[in-house]
Structure 1
Amino acid sequence: MTATTGLPRTPTRGRWVTAPPPSFAHLARLSDDTGLFEHARHAIVRREHGYCTDDVARGLVVISREPEPSEELLRLAECYLAFLTHAQNADGAFRNRLGHDRHWADEPGLGDWWGRALWGLGTAVARSPAPWVREEALVAFSRGATRRTKFPHAMAFAGLGAAEVLRRHPGHVAAASLLSDAASTVGPAGSDPRWPWPRQELTYANGALAEVVIAASQLRHGGPPLDDGLRMLAWLRDVQLRDGRLSVVPVRGWRHGGLRLHHDQQPIEVAAFADACATAATVTGDPEWDDGVRQAVGWFLGDNDFGAPMWDPETGGGYDGLTAHGPNLNQGAESTLALISTLQHARRWS
């Protein structure tokens, strides 16, 4: 993928570089007529690990966000939607893991994959240009939106899907109820300015928790105060800046009062932060939040603790993590989707 003039720019190690447009080449490489393979060794698919609803749902999110998807991307969207409807049972729960032999390895449940499935379905409802995709996605979303879980991340992902549905269908009662319940499950910001996070540990996709509170604040009835979500996100931004660059909480997390490690950093964390900042910028109109999106884009382009790009411009794939020794060069689905979704936000400045 070659950067071209006129595209948005983002700072990298004190320089301004051109942010490339998102490439879907590696996503297509990881996909077949069933779904999206989870893992790769370097850029080569590892079929033995099969597919998961988590990644297929995220795939539907990024394709649905494309303003003018190609026919190939629409075919992928239909494939991912068919996978999700196949994974869902009559009660609205979802299976997560499908082997390459097309046999499910688990029973329907309400884990993170349920939340992400509703996020993908809701984004398709709101943004897909294909009416048959929007209609089927709404049926599946409405079935899943009746369920609840006690897990904050799963509820946050589901709530983000509900927020998308409400943008197209403001009167969708189940979506409004789900978004409100998602924000309540995350909880209000704490009163301690040194740790206003509603939980005692930062784990993964932390930005999604702040984002769903911000999104829920826009509900006409029962929404939390906007300031709760903004305070959470502002603190998350501040604690993840290191010498002016983004240094996200690593895969082992960070507990209040505990030692803060810096590796291994995961692309999903950067993408969740970018999403939350983009939502905050849209809701508030404050351009300060665009700086957070720029820092996330910069992290992928090399403005990170190691000073190394976190993607392969030849394949369009995202690297699986930033270790103490540099990038993990495997290009799995989760990291590639995180790259794509973050680069999509760079269009805000085009």
Structure 2
Amino acid sequence: MTDRRGTFEHACGVEPRAEHGYCTDDMARVLVVTTREPEASGDVNRLAGIAVRFLGDAQTLTGACRNRMDSTGVWTDKPSLDDSWGRCVWGLGTAVARSEVTWVRKMALVQFERAAQGRSPHPRSMAYAALGAAEVLSAHPDHRAALKLISDYAVSTRTSNGQSAEWPWLEPRLSYANAVLAEAMIAAGVALEAPKLWQRGLGLLGWLLDIETDGGHLSPTPVGGRGPGDPRPAFDQQPIEAAALADACARAAAVDASARWPEGVRAAAAWFEGVNDLGQRMWDPETGAGFDGLHEHGVNRNQGAESTLAVISTLQHAQRISLLQR
């Protein structure tokens, strides 16, 4: 799925669709999963190098990011502070904190400092950026740009209130990558030593885990979102939802000793293994790739980058949880 420029966004079955090009969203995810892989091989480190170079090219001097590059290496959109910016900051921060390759860490830090100038009006974009800042602070506790970014994010959460006691979520409907909103609160609360903030994040994550569990298995929010009273199960379910829950539960497990967080990671991994609303496996053990969606009548068996990175990310967490609990 990857050439010298980057990882192709789409696939038809197992075949990459090179004509659709690449995107910053996916390259940020590539950087996350490659740099947090313990004792990474040379091939994994080379992927990290491709990703960090791609993200550097995506940035402007103000830190805003382009998202889409065509197959010839030409950017096709304008720089913005949308989710691609937030995920870029997340990926770079993860590389700063976790890469075993010195030049990747150094390049990522330079790019992080450039991207950290931005502030997005979009909650998920800021949440991803806050995760990146938290990663940088774990390695460089006094890093001024990271501290300013995560502090600004924490201030923005003070005006985000739930809809009601029955629906405490920050939005009238769940939409996509929902768990990142709770995870960012946990990360920011820990980084800033603000217990009320990370406890709020834990509460929201627990509520989300409850509402996305049905019949003893994970039943993620579909593409169309989920609101109070919506029928269940609902489709098209996307691998990114399971992966976001696994990310958030893994972070929560590092803060809170409750057994529900490791169980949340295992439920996300089990969703890929077929413990889901259709009893269908959502990844291909032969290729290591994830399938693109769980539909009402079956599985979308295209194996695109987002889905593949989602299963890799989730299984990374599940393996780590398993090792910690031995």
- Fold-level similarity (TM above 0.5): yes
Q: How far, CA to CA, are the matches of 1:167 and 1:177 in structure 2?
A: 14
- 1:24 is matched with none
Query: Quick one: which of 116, 123, 132 aligns to 2:94?
Result: 123
Higher RCO by CA contacts (8 Å cutoff, separation 6 or greater): 1
1:156–1:183: 8 Å Cα contact kept in structure 2? Answer: no
CA distance in 1, matches of 2:259, 2:180: 20
Tell me if structure 2 keeps the 8 A contact 1:179–1:212. Answer: no
- In the TM superposition, what are the counterparts of 1:164-179 in structure 2 within 5 Å? 164-179=135-150
**Aligned-partner Cα distance in 2 for 1:341–1:197:** 25
Aligned length in residues: 321
Give the match for residue 240 of structure 2.
268
Look up the equivalent residue of 2:46 and give its one-letter code. R
1:111 paired with 2:63, answer no
Per the TM alignment, residue 230 of structure 1 is displaced from its structure 2 partner at its CA by: 1.1
Partner of 1:61: helix, strand, or coil?
helix
Matches within 5 A, 1:1-350: 30-186=1-157, 188=160, 190=162, 192-220=164-192, 224-256=196-228, 262-347=234-319, 348-350=321-323
1:284 Cα offset (Å):
1.4
Partner in structure 2 of residue 22 of structure 1 = none
Classify 1:222/1:243 alpha carbon distance in 2 versus 1 (closer, same or farther; 3 Å).
closer
Structure 2 match to 1:3:
none
Measure the CA separation in 1 of the matches of 2:281 and 2:170.
33
The CA deviation at 1:184 is 4.0
CA separation of 1:222 and 1:142: change in aligned 2, threshold 3 A: farther
Q: CA deviation at 1:257?
A: 5.4
Q: Partners in 1 of 2:249 and 2:271 — Cα distance?
A: 15
- Whether the 8 Å contact between 2:283 and 2:290 is mirrored in structure 1 is yes
Give per-residue Cα distances to partners, 1:257-290, cap 9 Å, x unaligned: 5556610000000000011011011011323210
Q: Secondary structure at the match of 1:203?
A: coil
Change (3 A) 1:223 1:155: farther
Instruction: List gaps (5 residues or longer) in structure 2.
Output: none
Pairwise CA distance, 1:212: 0.2
Instruction: List alignment gaps of at least 5 residues for structure 1.
Output: 1-29
- 1:307-350 CA-partner distances (Å, limit 9, x unpaired): 01000111111000000011100000000000000000112112
Alpha-carbon deviation of 1:179? 1.8
CA offsets per residue over residues 60-102 of structure 1, 9 Å max, x none?
0000110111011111111111111011111111111000011
Is the partner of 1:94 in helix, strand or coil?
Answer: coil
| Corresponding letter in the other structure for 1:304 | N
1:62–1:341 contact (8 Å) kept in structure 2: yes
Question: CA offset at residue 192 of structure 1?
Answer: 3.2
User: CA separation in 1, counterparts of 2:293 and 2:152?
Assistant: 32
Identity %: 53
**Aligned letter for 2:253?**
A
SS at match of 2:294: strand
Secondary structure in 1 aligned to 2:299?
strand
Per-residue CA deviations over 1:212-257 (Å, capped at 9, x if unaligned) read: 0011111336675322111100110111111110000001101345
AA in 2 matched with 1:56:
M
Secondary structure of the structure 2 residue equivalent to 1:105: coil
CA distance in 2, matches of 1:109, 1:278: 30
Aligned in 2, Cα 1:223/1:158: closer, same or farther, shift over 3 Å?
Answer: farther
Q: Is the 8 A contact 1:204 1:269 kept in 2?
A: yes
> Is residue 216–residue 223 contact of structure 1 (8 Å, CA) maintained in 2?
no
Aligned residues of 1:245 and 1:295 also touching (Cα < 8 A)? yes
Describe the shift of the 1:224–1:53 C-alpha distance in structure 2 as closer, same or farther (beyond 3 A).
farther
Which residue of structure 2 aligns with residue 12 of structure 1? none
After TM superposition, the structure 1 stretch with the greater mean CA deviation from structure 2, 34-43 or 254-263, is 254-263
SS of 1:114's equivalent in the other structure is helix
Partner of 1:4: none
Native 8 Å contact 1:38 1:50 kept in 2? yes
Task: Write out per-residue CA displacement over residues 116-141 of structure 1, whole angstroms, 9 at most, x where no aligned residue.
Answer: 00111000000000111101100000
Quote the RMSD (CA, aligned, Å): 1.5
| Structure 1 Cα separation of the partners of residues 161 and 182 of structure 2 | 9
